[in-house]
Amino acid sequence: MSAAEMGQGEASIELEQRPAAARLSVRVKLFQALGALPDTFKTFAFNTFLLLFYSQVLNLPASLASAALMISVVLDAITDPLVGSFSDRLRTPLGRRHPLMYAAVLPLGGTLILLFSPPADLSQWALFGWLLFFSSASRVAMTFFLVPWSALFAELSDDYYERSSIITYRYVVGALGGVAFVWCCWSFIFPASELYEKGQLNPDAYSSFALVLALAVSLTALIATQLTVSQIPRLRQSTATRPFSFLVALQDIRLAMQNRDFLVLFVGLLLASVLTGIIAAFEIYFHTYFWGFSAEDLRWLAIGGIGALIGAALVGPMQKWLDKKDLLLGSMIFSLADGLTIISLRLLDILPANGDPLLLQILVANEVFRMASLSVTIIMFVSMVADTLDAQELETGLRQEGVFSSAIAFSSKAVSGVGVLVVGLLLEHVVMLPTGAVPDAVAPDVVFRLGVFGGLLIPALYLIPFYLATKYRITRKRHAEIQAALRARSPISS
């Protein structure tokens, strides 16, 4: 059965709900962008602290901790497309997206509190089970919020430029919220003390962190959901003729994967997210053992958020001259060159020594450039996925925002899961960093291996998603042709 045949029967009704490609108000884009904050806070917690907390603070072997987190990602991989397909077909007075977003609020807070505050004196395997269960539960809860929320942006506008603007708002709000959250965590929850010069190794700080994280995630999820309720009338409502089932979900996934441009982006985004997750999971070890930073030092890296704002501000002007694909490829290659250069300079002893204030200043400045490039990469990737939705509608007659957005959501969550698995195995068996290691007592050869594997070899693999991105085919001109064809086919063309 062809893709078009699989969509037949639902297409004519679906097209009747095509919204105009109108410009959105700043207020609408800002309210929608607030939904970036819950996953920003959760991802920071998972990438920065979760593996460190369980392996270095609670002394669970890194390989066991990373295995638990990897299993949770596998479970998450099953729920993401199911929730996406279910959301696409959901019919309620609140539409397809908001009921699931509301339902996620309380489970998110509860699972995150329990994840970062396990009972004392658990055995090794009991601690493994606790980590596995609550990391899985928190991921599933985030799925019920993130997948429907991610689907909203593609429904709000069909315009080639406006979609990038919506994503820019999301990224800027997420970056600003992330900077504020990171600064507060390092300044007030993990400050240095007499017993713990590196505050991130203080076990007593994690109970406070658990409460703050849970409240921040739950409240921002609730606020974002409530403030976007007014947009429900302009969103597409489900017109699916077949009710949701596991078989229908599998058919929806198959249909999405037949879209070549989406498949190229999904595989590239997934690989890039996994690599980003590995590097992010390594980051706290780099800060602690490779660069020798204290919590007071680390909070200054939050200034890098300025770079995210710069990159986001440049997207609009640059997009007038370059296609999204060209911007994506340029930002990806810049990020790769920057990361490899800064680590190489340290390994060659060209940078100032650890403890020299100039080193921190250099890394803060580099963080600004890194975040500027990263913001362009993320905005372009997500905006390009939205453009594949239009091609999908032209080919099949169906809109699959939920299924397509579940791929983005899964990629963002694969960041922490696969990343901590790989990092846990590398730390234990390749880098050979002992559990409970004191930063000043770590052998130089261990630090060197950390730099080579975490700072050079893993980042070099970004060339694979870069190559895949070169195969994307939807240009500005092609997207205009798709939109014209859809408007001509729609019974209520705007």
Q: How many other CB atoms are there within 10 angstroms of residue 126's CB atom?
A: 12
Report if residue 153 sits inside a domain.
Answer: yes
Q: From start to end of 52-108, where are the E strands?
A: none
Residue 434 and residue 88: Cα distance in Å, rounded?
Answer: 47
- The answer to whether residue 8 is domain-embedded is no
Copy the structure tokens of residue 124: 């090794």
In a domain, 4, yes or no: no
The predicted pLDDT at position 240 comes to 59
Domain that holds residue 426: 25-489
Q: Is 392 in contact with 256 (CB distance < 8 Å)?
A: yes
Give the separation between CA 351 and CA 366, rounded to whole angstroms. Answer: 13
Is it the case that residue 355 has pLDDT exceeding 70? Answer: yes
Digit-coded pLDDT (tens) for 136-185: 999 999 999 998 998 887 788 778 788 888 888 988 899 889 989 998 99
Q: Which two tokens stand for residue 101?
A: 């977003």
Assign residue 226 the CATH number of its domain: 1.20.1250.20
pLDDT 10s digits, 306-322:
898 899 889 989 988 89
pLDDT level of residue 7 (50, 70, 90 thresholds) = very low
- When mean pLDDT is compared across 139-153, 393-407, 447-461, 465-479, the lowest value belongs to 393-407
Contact 7, 146 (CB under 8 A): no
The answer to whether residue 208 scores a pLDDT higher than 80 is yes
pLDDT of the residue at 415? 57
The model's pTM: 0.70
pLDDT band for 20, please (50, 70, 90 cuts): very low
The answer to whether the CB of 101 falls within 8 A of the CB of 227 is no
Please choose, from the candidates 276, 277, 257, the residue with its C-alpha nearest in 3D space to the C-alpha of residue 267. Answer: 257
- Which two three-digit tokens encode residue 348? 């060659």
pLDDT given at position 493: 43
The tokens 């090794």 sit on which residue?
A: 124
Give the residue-averaged pLDDT of 250-275.
83
Over residues 213-252, the pLDDT tens digits come to: 999 999 999 999 999 999 888 776 665 556 767 777 777 7
Q: Does 87 reside within a domain?
A: yes
Backbone angles phi, psi at 240, to 5 degrees: -60, 135
With respect to residue 15, please indicate whether it lies within any of the assigned structural domains: no
Asked if residue 17 belongs to a domain, the reply is no
| Residue 494 domain flag | no
User: How much is the pLDDT for 442?
Assistant: 86
Q: Structurally, how many domains does the chain consist of?
A: 1
Of 115-129, 174-188, 269-283, which range is least confident?
269-283
C-alpha distance from residue 478 to each of 157, 164, 167, 374, 376 (Å): 17, 16, 21, 26, 21
**Residue 307 class from Cβ within 10 Å (0-12 exposed, 13-18 middle, 19+ buried)?**
buried
The reply to whether 441 falls in a domain is yes
